[in-house]
Amino acid sequence: MIKTVSTTPYTDQKMGTAGLRRKSKVVVQPNYVENFMQSIFNVIGDLQGKTFVVGGDGRYYNDVAIQKIIKMAAANGVSRLIIGQNGFMSTPAGSNIILKNKADGGFILSASHNPGGINGDFGIKYSNHTGGQIPSSISDQIYQQTLNIKEYKICDTEDIDLSKIGKQELCGMEIEIIDPVVDYVEMMENIFDFPAIKKLFQNGFTMRFDAMNAVTGPYAIRIFEEILGAKKGSVVNYNPLPDFGGLHPDPNMVYAKELVDYMYSDQAADFGAANDGDGDRNMILGKKFFVTPSDSLAIITDNFCYIPAYKNGIYGVAKSAATSTSVERVAHAHNIGYYEVPTGWKYFVNLMDSKRITFCGEESFGTGSAHIREKDGIWAVLFWLNIIAATGKSVEEITTEHWQKYGRSYYVRFDFEGVDTNVADKLMESLEAKLPSLKGQTINGYQVSEAGAFVYNDPVDHSSTKNGLIIRFNDGSRIVYRLSGTGSSGATIRVYLERYSKADLHNDPLKMLTEIFEIAMAVSEIPERTGKHQADVVT
């Protein structure tokens, strides 16, 4: 029975860097999910014959929101839904399912690396037929719909049972519940040299993978322990929990503390890794050794020849503007295309679809390739295991040899969180106005070669996007400023610092960046304007 329900708009349903992300307490308000979903369906238009993929990272409200989405899809005339068993599916697995089934799009219920639970965040990522998240031109249309929404359609029935694999029907719509792990594993087996990695574990190699009580637990157990033979217990925090067991599922040096402490102890495994809430981010560690995501992208690119799926050659590479320039040097050495895009994986999609790039990455612990259209946490971990298996070298050896070959980009990101939105907006505005006058000036011993907004002109759809401000120095050092687009309250100012050195390879990043940090603070007036002299999170 299809019901039309009248509703009134919420004014805050604008998508950010990766979908809609709000406090759980906001999302549980009456009709909040319904308004947002109906707005998407309205913008798509005719849903007859269309197939969508649905799943989530299992966080609080995943189970409630997914039932609403299923019933609304049916009422709006969608022909078929492919749903992960029990409502679970990682973001990269979802992208694969969309592409493999030539679906028209998909919804991943996740606020990614943000904490979950009733006091945490909830979110919805919306992808189209490309397998990647929609461009801003479409999310703008959806936002306009949310501001004018008057009614939504829903099928008035019992909740459907998501535990049973197989086909069902709801209000004339076909539902297929699938095991979300199977296709993903098959894809990974087709990319990497599983026999070589198996042999590595047979020879006593040890790893620890921290799933942070989020969606990748079942994927990691299957791949690392059951198929590749890492010893039982290698995967920790593998049970997806609605509040992630209180963890902040962001795989970095601050929030993956348990893993970091273990990997810096004398008992450390040979290799350590973690993923975020929805499985698209990754952190790579060796014994008492951390690889920055920017370096990881460069190393992955430089070592493509060891991976069966890429060994015959790769297209170019791309990185977000905030990511360090380490991969740029690799791209030039291999004579492949190189692109710099705004922050957010959606900006890589056109470059992959047009075969301009194979690999891409972001400093925020995201790495991936054109096998799908999202970043992919487990893919990155397997890439490293495959390099280790092929070369017999440790994470530390691979990374330090990379620095010897290319030099090192010392890189640190500083986040100033919970800043009043007006203060943050004004700060960015005055900074942007001031930047052109810095050109040619020498500050704290560093000469500014260029300063201004980062503007990206997409070579495929010719859209133009402005995101963040960059100060470049003559020696290749850089400061990037941006406001976060994934927070659920207040503003977060991100300051990304980078300094290149060809000879000094084993120094402390914070020490190497002291002067640049001082410049970054003085020029932006962050301490004066926000009252903060220290960053809240340093990664």
Catalytically annotated residues: 112
What minimum distance in Å lies between the beta carbon of 362 and Co ion? Answer: 11
What minimum distance in Å lies between the beta carbon of 481 and ligand VG1? Answer: 11
Report what 524 binds from ligand VG1, Co ion, none; CB cut-off 5-8 Å by kind: none
Residue 255 — φ and ψ, nearest 5°? -90, -20
Using CA atoms, how far apart are residues 77 and 42, in angstroms rounded to an integer?
A: 11
Q: Which stretch binds ligand VG1 (CB under 6 A): 151-159, 220-228, 341-349, 437-445?
A: 341-349
What minimum distance in Å lies between the beta carbon of 160 and ligand VG1? Answer: 27
Convert residues 265-294 into a mask of x (bound to Co ion by CB under 5 A) and - (unbound): -----------x-x-xx-------------
Residue 104 contacts Co ion per CB under 5 A:
no
Q: Are 19 and 126 in contact (CB under 8 A)?
A: yes
Please identify which residue in 50, 68, 80, 113 interacts with ligand VG1, judged by CB under 6 A: 113
Convert residues 290-329 into a mask of x (bound to ligand VG1 by CB under 6 A) and - (unbound): ------------------------------x---------
Using CA atoms, how far apart are residues 392 and 275, in angstroms rounded to an integer?
A: 24
Please identify which residue in 112, 133, 326, 492 interacts with Co ion, judged by CB under 5 A: 112
Q: First and final CA of the chain: distance in angstroms?
A: 51
Q: Which stretch binds ligand VG1 (CB under 6 A): 58-66, 189-197, 233-241, 482-490?
A: 482-490
Using CA atoms, how far apart are residues 185 and 181, in angstroms rounded to an integer?
A: 6
Using CB atoms within 10 A of its CB, is residue 387 exposed (0-12), middle (13-18) or buried (19+)? buried
Q: Are strands 51-56 and 151-155 parallel, antiparallel or unpaired?
A: unpaired
Residue 280 contacts ligand VG1 per CB under 6 A:
yes
Report the 10 Å Cβ neighbour count for 146.
22
Query: Structure tokens of 381?
Result: 């971990």
Q: Identify residues 174-193 at the interface with ligand VG1 (CB under 6 A).
A: none
What minimum distance in Å lies between the beta carbon of 138 and ligand VG1? Answer: 17
Report the 10 Å Cβ neighbour count for 392.
9
Residue 343 contacts ligand VG1 per CB under 6 A:
yes
Q: Which stretch binds ligand VG1 (CB under 6 A): 22-30, 99-107, 342-350, 404-412?
A: 342-350
**DSSP code of residue 486:** S
Shorter beta-carbon distance to ligand VG1: residue 248 or 287: 248
With both helix axes pointing from N to C terminus, report the angle between 182-191 and 91-100 in degrees, rounded to the nearest 10. 90
Residue 328 contacts Co ion per CB under 5 A:
no
Which alpha helices (H) appear in 250-344, and where do they start and end? 257-263, 293-302, 326-334
Q: Which stretch binds ligand VG1 (CB under 6 A): 48-56, 78-86, 306-314, 484-492?
A: 484-492
Q: Are 324 and 294 in contact (CB under 8 A)?
A: yes
What minimum distance in Å lies between the beta carbon of 320 and ligand VG1? Answer: 6
Residue 17 contacts ligand VG1 per CB under 6 A:
yes
Distance (Å) of CA 450 to CA 187, 306, 350: 43, 38, 28
Per-residue burial over 228-257, b = 16 or more CB atoms within 10 Å of its CB, e = otherwise: bbbeeebbbbbebbbbbeebbbbbbbebbe
**Vertex 364: Cα angle to 233 and 450 (nearest 5):** 155
Shorter beta-carbon distance to ligand VG1: residue 17 or 216: 17
What minimum distance in Å lies between the beta carbon of 401 and Co ion? Answer: 30
Q: Which stretch binds Co ion (CB under 5 A): 47-55, 106-114, 122-130, 468-476?
A: 106-114
Using CA atoms, how far apart are residues 411 and 51, in angstroms rounded to an integer?
A: 43
Residue 86's nearest CA partner among 130, 56, 128 is 56
Tell me the residue type at 243. D
Q: Are 59 and 242 in contact (CB under 8 A)?
A: yes
Which residue matches tokens 């594993």? 185
Please identify which residue in 13, 15, 18, 126 interacts with ligand VG1, judged by CB under 6 A: 18
If binding means CB under 6 A, how many residues of this protein chain bind ligand VG1? 18
Q: Which stretch binds ligand VG1 (CB under 6 A): 258-266, 301-309, 401-409, 480-488?
A: 480-488
Residue 276 contacts ligand VG1 per CB under 6 A:
yes
Q: Are 114 and 123 in contact (CB under 8 A)?
A: yes
Shorter beta-carbon distance to Co ion: residue 112 or 323: 112
Residue 217 contacts ligand VG1 per CB under 6 A:
no
Query: Structure tokens of 205?
Result: 């190699």
Using CA atoms, how far apart are residues 441 and 435, in angstroms rounded to an integer?
A: 11
Residue 345 contacts ligand VG1 per CB under 6 A:
yes
Which residue matches tokens 């649905």? 54
Q: Identify residues 354-413 at the interface with ligand VG1 (CB under 6 A).
A: 362, 364, 366
If binding means CB under 5 A, how many residues of this protein chain bind Co ion? 5
Shorter beta-carbon distance to Co ion: residue 104 or 280: 280
Q: Which residues bind Co ion (CB under 5 A)?
A: 112, 276, 278, 280-281
Q: Which residues bind ligand VG1 (CB under 6 A)?
A: 17-18, 112-113, 276, 280-281, 320, 343-345, 362, 364, 366, 484-486, 494
